[in-house]
Amino acid sequence: MKDDIWDRLEPWLARHAKELWAVMNPPATMAQIEAAERRIGHELPADVRAAYLRHNGTADSTRLHGPYFFHYAAWCSLDAMVDGWESRCELIQRFREGPDSEYLFPEEDESWRELEVRLDWSNPNWIPLGHTNTASTLLIDLQPAGMGTRGQLLEDGGAGGVTAVVPSLGQYLQTLWDRIEQGEIWWHPDKGWVIAASGAAVLQWDPLEGFFWP
């Protein structure tokens, strides 16, 4: 992810999305990033590292009350990322030991080569990037299926059916900025990200077109 995306996005947020800009955390240090990586057992993708070197997510209060940095969720601080990952791992372990383990965690076969996302109910290699006041989570996929990309972002609505929405955080931010420049997306002080033409809140990312839809 190019730093110039942030060089353009940050001044825009400071001017046009003051509510969001006010809750953006200061940068994380490389030491903090590496400490988080040791906890989760993975090095984060370069674009994710770069993002945290600009901002250590948003204030933890945004999970409950907003505003959301992502269309789908508040941006996790590194501490919130690790906490969310540990809670996810505990839940995975509990379900792996339960009677539905074979259904929730099917054995990988040749058909997975044609998929973007593994068919697991959940996976310890899915790292929380965004969180909400529900079970919905935005995840970094560090173990994609055959047609997926390491670092792709996943939407998990909390009831199964995890979906790949964009190949990387860098592409998400680039597309967001492109839509802002094209006048398609805007910030509303009460609704957050909205479709400029209609004022409808942005609730979904189209994985095929890379557009935001209400």
Q: Looking at residues 185-203, what average pLDDT do you find?
A: 90
pLDDT in tens, 107-163: 989 988 999 999 998 899 999 999 988 878 999 999 999 999 999 999 998 766 788
Rounded to the nearest 10°, the torsion over CA 56, 34, 1, 14 is 10
d(CA 72, CA 200): 14
Q: Convert the pLDDT of each residue in 72-101 to its tens digit.
A: 799 999 999 999 999 999 999 998 898 988
pLDDT score for 108: 87
- Report for 41-50, 94-103, 202-211: range of highest mean pLDDT: 41-50
The domain locations on the chain are: 3-183
130 within 8 A of 63, measured Cβ to Cβ? no
pTM of the model: 0.92
Beta bridge partners of 204: 213
Class of domain 3-183: alpha beta
Q: What is the pLDDT of residue 208?
A: 44
Strand partners, 58: 24
- Dist. CA 155–CA 73, nearest whole Å: 10
Beta-bridged to residue 74, according to DSSP, are 131
What whole-number distance in Å separates Cα of residue 182 and Cα of residue 187?
Answer: 14
